């Protein structure tokens, strides 16, 4: 895969990653509350015998497995988000704006908007985009320029 394609994909998913980190953390909290509820309500096994225990055990196991899977996903999303943010921190205001308009929060007339806001020609907008994308990628992966 070409490095530019990877960088563009990462920039396009930054907002989704931010939402994912928040949503997964909240989902884990909900599962933890449900788990506490499952543990507290163990009266079915006394009343209905072994079939109630089996249902209770399955609910607890399902909850544990889902929480663990979500915790792994949360950790992976946080790491990816940190890598992308590391690349973005190295950019100056104009470079950040260009990548934001092109990829992170793409606007309908992003090229025209950038052209007007930066008072440059269309070809310069594309040069700025290419340079910012290169700089972002170099810093995202921590590679020193030769």
Q: Given this model, what pLDDT does residue 3 score?
A: 87
pLDDT of residue 43: 52
pTM exceeds 0.75: yes
Structure tokens at 108: 């309908």
- Give me 54's structure tokens: 């089996």
Q: pLDDT value at position 17?
A: 96
pLDDT tens for each residue of 15-66: 999 999 999 999 999 999 998 887 776 555 555 555 556 788 888 899 999 9
- DSSP secondary structure string for all residues of the chain: --HHHHHHHHHHTHHHHHHHHHHHHHHHHHHHHHHHHHHH---HHHHHTHHHHHHHHHHHHHHHHHHHHHHHHHHHHHHHHHHHHHHHHTS-HHHHHHHIIIIIT--TTHHHHHHHHHT--HHHHHHHHHHHHHHHHHHHTTPPP-
Look up residue 106 and give its two tokens.
Answer: 């793409």
The predicted pLDDT at position 51 comes to: 54
């Amino acid at each position: 895969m070409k490095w530019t394609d990877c960088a563009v994909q990462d920039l396009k998913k930054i907002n989704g990653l931010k939402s994912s980190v928040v949503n997964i953390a909240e989902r884990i909290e909900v599962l933890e509350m449900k788990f506490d509820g499952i543990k507290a309500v163990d009266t079915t096994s006394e009343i209905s015998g072994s079939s109630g225990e089996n249902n209770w055990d399955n609910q607890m196991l399902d909850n544990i497995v889902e929480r663990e899977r979500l915790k792994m996903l949360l950790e992976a999303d946080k790491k990816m988000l940190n890598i992308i943010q590391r690349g973005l921190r190295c950019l100056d205001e104009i470079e950040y704006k260009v990548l934001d308009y092109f990829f992170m929060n793409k606007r309908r007339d992003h090229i025209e908007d950038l052209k007007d806001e930066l008072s440059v020609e269309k070809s310069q907008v594309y040069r700025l985009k290419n340079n910012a994308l290169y700089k972002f990628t170099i810093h995202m992966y921590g590679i020193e320029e030769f």
